[in-house]
């Protein structure tokens, strides 16, 4: 056996030279207890401090910092202007900078709705008022009196700070004026435009982000750089505008205009509004519809047509991401053919024949979150026409959703003379509506500007099945599908 007094194995739990089973000194134990107590106090203090800070932040966000107030919409509003005249112009822009689109239009009157008379502005009476109305309620945001007559206007020049370019005349001189979209104030001075033969205009951006004013004349289509116009209005404004060397190399040394398309049969020019890229140009002539590349100006496709009755519009009938074109073609006997052409190829995607009721506005569309558009157009289904309809006492509007391409929603609509019409989205992803401007054609009378939520038409609409194959969905299912639609900006 081993001796009893042999060295024992060292206990690994022993600390500070204290063998296992031995008690630590009393002073050392007391110091350790005090250290643990202080650590516990600090942990408790840190916990309550973090809790206090968290509650303070919650309180601040809940009560002190106000939550953003969503705008309250009126589903339907209208403004009436007695003894006035108006023009075929509607623009949808955020004039009040509240992220909700507003309505801009032009009125000819002796006094504005904000008690600003033509005489107060040093103008002859009546004069022209460019006005902005709140899209939510129809209240006047601002108005700007100008010398008559009004020719054209276009808003949404983002590179210049969200402004409107307005053409009006003083006696025989054509003038261009730049107005602030937020306040209506004039930016710089008026610019004399030495092109009296201009019939139409359009604002266009090239592939390098340079803005041009497209000018349609009897001989064709031409372009003038916006920076040149801005420089004449106010020195220094043009510094914020980009220049395109490729387009400027094509400009005439004499007039400064860039020749885009030369033809005496040109009747309309439109931009496709392609999202995330350069808009192409749609040219409408007496016998064709042609698409030009918006940067290189080369022809993409061309479709032969008969007479085009109204200005074409754009929307998405399929999911290829390219805007498709809605064309109303005259086929004789007071009948029109509404065609949707593929934006990439010009092929026919959808069509329907309607009676061409008098004073029918151009088609329009609103984009949805599932890549399709809801199309709206006007006329009369031939099978529904009677003597009352043919006499012009009835006008109907139609809604088309590509997912139900064999179905139309038909609704009897206003009988007043329509000057301008536009379907739009007032807020990103919300509130699809249409704007109607009615009044007497070229004469003084009662002018009414109204906004109506698009879905208000669905309950009162009639479901019409078109084509040889009818939809298997019930009328109730189709209306519910329209009511469930969610809209989106392109």
Per-domain boundaries in the chain: 315-490
Give percent of the chain above pLDDT 70.
Answer: 75
Kindly tell me the sign of the dihedral angle through the C-alpha atoms of 409, 489, 91, 352: negative
| Integer Cα distance of 166 and 177 in angstroms | 5
Place of tokens 């073609």: 329
Task: Return the pLDDT at 188.
Answer: 57
- Regarding predicted confidence, which is higher, 415 or 364? 364
Give percent of the chain above pLDDT 90.
Answer: 38
Residue 475 tokens, joined: 């009328």
| Integer Cα distance of 358 and 362 in angstroms | 12
Q: What does the pLDDT average to over 479-486?
A: 94
C-beta separation of 289 from 325 below 8 A: yes
Which residue, 437, 474, 436, 476, is CA-closest to 458? 476
Each residue's pLDDT tens digit, 302-360: 999 999 999 999 999 999 989 999 999 999 898 999 999 999 999 999 999 999 877 88
pLDDT, averaged across the chain? 81
Place of tokens 């001189």: 173
Residue 449 tokens, joined: 């500007």
The two most distant CA atoms of the chain are separated, in Å, by: 133
Q: What does the pLDDT average to over 194-199?
A: 60
Q: Is the pLDDT of residue 11 over 70?
A: no
Comparing 43-52, 196-205, 275-284, 360-369, which segment has the lowest mean pLDDT? Answer: 196-205
Each residue's pLDDT tens digit, 394-422: 789 999 999 999 999 999 887 789 999 99
Task: Return the pLDDT at 284.
Answer: 95
For 382, phi then psi, to 5°, come to -55, -40
Q: How confident is the model at residue 72 (pLDDT cuts 50, 70, 90)?
A: confident
Q: What does the pLDDT average to over 292-302?
A: 94
Comparing 27-36, 292-301, 311-320, which segment has the lowest mean pLDDT? Answer: 27-36
Query: pTM of the predicted model, to two decimals?
Result: 0.77
Q: Is the pLDDT of residue 120 over 70?
A: yes
Task: Return the pLDDT at 441.
Answer: 75
Each residue's pLDDT tens digit, 443-462: 899 999 999 999 999 999 99
Each residue's pLDDT tens digit, 213-255: 888 888 899 998 887 777 766 666 666 678 888 888 888 888 8
What CA–CA distances, in Å, run from 97 to 85, 134, 140? 28, 11, 14
- Regarding predicted confidence, which is higher, 299 or 211? 299
| Integer Cα distance of 350 and 365 in angstroms | 15
C-beta separation of 221 from 228 below 8 A: no
Sort residue 209 into left (φ over 0), alpha (ψ -120 to 50) or beta.
left
DSSP 8-state secondary structure symbol assigned to residue 251: B
| Integer Cα distance of 196 and 467 in angstroms | 48
| Integer Cα distance of 90 and 436 in angstroms | 9
Q: Is the pLDDT of residue 165 over 80?
A: no
Q: How confident is the model at residue 35 (pLDDT cuts 50, 70, 90)?
A: low
Instruction: Please name the residue ranges forming H helices in 150-241.
Output: 226-233
Q: How confident is the model at residue 175 (pLDDT cuts 50, 70, 90)?
A: low
Which residue, 150, 165, 234, is CA-closest to 202? 165
Place of tokens 């030279």: 17
DSSP 8-state secondary structure symbol assigned to residue 368: B
| Integer Cα distance of 353 and 349 in angstroms | 14
Sorted by sequence, the CB contacts under 8 Å of residue 310 that are 6+ apart come out as: 328, 360, 361, 362, 363
Task: Return the pLDDT at 205.
Answer: 87
Which residue, 250, 260, 253, 303, is CA-closest to 281? 260
C-beta separation of 177 from 166 below 8 A: yes
C-beta separation of 141 from 134 below 8 A: yes
Q: What does the pLDDT average to over 130-135?
A: 90
């Amino acid at each position: 056996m081993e001796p009893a007094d042999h060295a024992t194995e060292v206990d690994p739990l022993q600390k500070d030279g204290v063998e296992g089973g031995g008690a630590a000194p009393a002073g050392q134990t007391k110091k350790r207890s005090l250290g643990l107590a202080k650590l516990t106090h600090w942990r408790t203090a840190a916990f309550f401090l973090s809790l206090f800070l968290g509650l303070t932040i919650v309180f601040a966000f809940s009560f002190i910092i106000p939550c953003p107030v969503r705008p309250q919409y009126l589903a339907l509003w209208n403004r009436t202007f007695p003894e006035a005249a108006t023009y075929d112009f509607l623009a949808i822009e955020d004039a009040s900078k509240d992220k909700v689109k507003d309505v801009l239009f032009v009125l000819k009157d002796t006094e504005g709705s904000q008690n600003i008379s033509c005489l107060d502005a040093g103008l002859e009476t009546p004069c022209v008022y460019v006005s902005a109305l709140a899209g939510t309620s129809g209240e006047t945001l601002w108005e700007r009196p100008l010398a008559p007559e009004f020719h054209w206007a276009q808003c949404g020049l983002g590179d210049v700070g969200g402004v409107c370019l307005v053409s009006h005349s003083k006696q025989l001189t054509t003038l261009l004026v730049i107005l602030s979209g937020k306040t209506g104030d004039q930016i710089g001075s008026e610019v004399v435009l030495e092109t009296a033969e201009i019939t139409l205009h359009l604002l266009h951006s090239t592939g390098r982000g340079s803005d041009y004013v497209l000018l349609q004349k009897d001989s064709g289509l031409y372009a003038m750089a916006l920076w040149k116009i801005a420089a004449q209005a106010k020195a220094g404004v043009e510094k914020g505008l980009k220049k395109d060397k490729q387009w400027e190399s094509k400009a005439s040394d004499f007039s400064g205009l860039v020749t885009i398309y030369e033809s005496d049969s040109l009747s309309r020019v439109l931009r496709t509004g392609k999202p995330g890229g350069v808009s192409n140009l749609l040219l409408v002539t007496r016998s064709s519809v042609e698409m030009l590349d918006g940067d290189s100006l080369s022809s993409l496709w061309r479709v032969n047509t008969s007479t085009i009755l109204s200005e074409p519009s754009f929307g998405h009938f399929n999911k290829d991401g390219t805007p498709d074109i809605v064309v109303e073609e005259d086929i004789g006997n007071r009948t029109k053919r509404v065609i949707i052409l593929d934006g990439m190829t010009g092929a026919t995607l959808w069509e329907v024949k309607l009676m061409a009721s008098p004073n029918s506005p151009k088609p329009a569309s609103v984009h949805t979150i599932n890549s399709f558009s809801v199309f709206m157009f006007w006329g009369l289904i031939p099978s529904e026409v009677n003597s009352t309809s043919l006499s012009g006492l009835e006008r109907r509007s139609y809604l088309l959703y590509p997912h139900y391409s064999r179905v139309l929603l038909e609704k009897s609509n206003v009988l007043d003379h329509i000057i301008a019409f536009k379907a739009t989205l007032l807020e990103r992803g919300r509130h699809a509506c249409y704007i109607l401007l009615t009044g007497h054609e070229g004469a003084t009378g009662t002018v009414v500007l109204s906004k109506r939520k698009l879905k208000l038409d669905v309950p009162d609409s009639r479901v019409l099945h078109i084509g040889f194959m009818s939809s298997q969905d019930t009328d109730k299912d189709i209306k519910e599908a329209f009511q469930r639609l969610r809209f989106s900006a392109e």
